[in-house]
């Protein structure tokens, strides 16, 4: 048996037959590891949390934030989770249930229609990079 192994060790074709496939596998695995992330698959795994505190307008009765969220949910590939309170949204963000949270303030519709500036809060987890 030792003589057979010694003969294989001296045979250059055997050595090349072992090294070349290993090198090919290494090269292709490097290509696979450095390939760009599939954006569609990454976006479908993204979950956005929303806290909609918007009280809306009385005349006409409309909540601009609800309309925005409706259009957003239909046209984008990621999922939207709505939360009733800020505390629930913050807890979901901390445990990783959602990757980011958007908070619409109570006066959002009124300020968006009027001349006043408005702000929305956006929170994200530390691991999120967009």
The answer to whether position 129 is within a domain reads: no
pLDDT digits (tens, 9 = 90+) for 79-124: 888 999 999 999 999 888 888 999 988 888 888 887 778 788 889 8
* One domain for residues 117 and 86: yes
Cα 108 from Cα 104, distance rounded (Å): 6
Q: Return the SS3 of 32.
A: helix
Torsion angle, CA of 22/24/26/29, rounded to 10 degrees?
Answer: -130
Cβ burial 44-65 (10 Å sphere, 16+ → b, else e):
eebbbbbbbebebeeeeeebbb
* One domain for residues 119 and 61: yes
Backbone phi and psi for residue 44, each to the nearest 5 degrees, phi listed first: -70, -20
* One domain for residues 48 and 96: yes
pTM beyond 0.75, yes or no: no
* One domain for residues 46 and 109: yes
Q: Which domain holds residue 23?
A: 2-34
């Amino acid at each position: 048996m030792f003589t057979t192994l010694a003969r294989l060790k001296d045979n250059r074709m055997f050595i090349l037959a072992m090294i070349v496939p290993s090198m090919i596998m290494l090269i292709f695995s490097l290509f696979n590891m450095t390939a760009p992330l599939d954006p569609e698959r990454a976006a479908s795994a993204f979950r956005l949390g929303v806290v909609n505190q918007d009280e809306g307008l009385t005349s006409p009765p409309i909540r601009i934030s609800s309309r925005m969220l409706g259009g957003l949910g239909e046209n984008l590939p990621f999922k939207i989770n709505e939360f009733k309170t800020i505390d629930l949204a913050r807890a979901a963000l901390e445990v990783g249930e959602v990757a980011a949270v958007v908070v619409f303030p109570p006066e959002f519709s009124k300020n968006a229609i009027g001349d006043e500036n408005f702000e929305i809060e956006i929170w994200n987890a530390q691991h999120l990079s967009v």
